[in-house]
């Protein structure tokens, strides 16, 4: 009877080793997630910079076209 009580008590919780293994695994997963997020953030920042450059080029082209159109119309008058 005494042995059965000890076995029942041991099945109720986690051992220290099990808790340490879980905490270590969570730390590894957390580290991997953070490193991937940092790389993703840099990639998104680069993509936004490229879009800004492309937008600036397009705005310059439109400005140049409009400027030429205005100058041509002024010369006609």
45-55 pLDDT, tens digit each: 899 999 999 99
Residue with token string 């940092």: 38
- Whether 31 maps to a domain, the answer reads no
pLDDT score recorded for residue 1: 57
- Count of structural domains, the chain: 1
- Whether 76 maps to a domain, the answer reads yes
Q: In a 3-state reduction of DSSP, which class is residue 27?
A: helix
- Whether 55 maps to a domain, the answer reads yes
- Whether 12 maps to a domain, the answer reads no
Residue 74's domain comprises: 51-77
- Whether 9 maps to a domain, the answer reads no
- Whether 16 maps to a domain, the answer reads no
pLDDT score recorded for residue 63: 82
- Whether 77 maps to a domain, the answer reads yes
- In the chain, pLDDT over 70 holds for what percent of residues? 73
Task: Give the whole-angstrom CA distance, residue 61 versus residue 59.
Answer: 5
Q: In a 3-state reduction of DSSP, which class is residue 1?
A: coil
pTM of the predicted protein model = 0.46
């Amino acid at each position: 009877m005494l042995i059965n009580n000890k076995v029942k008590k041991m099945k109720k919780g986690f051992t220290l080793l099990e808790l340490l293994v879980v905490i270590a695994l969570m730390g590894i997963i957390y580290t991997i997630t953070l490193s991937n997020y940092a790389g993703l953030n840099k990639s998104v920042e680069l993509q936004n910079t490229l879009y800004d450059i492309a937008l600036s080029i397009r705005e310059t082209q439109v400005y140049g076209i409009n400027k030429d159109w205005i100058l041509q119309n002024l010369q006609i008058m």
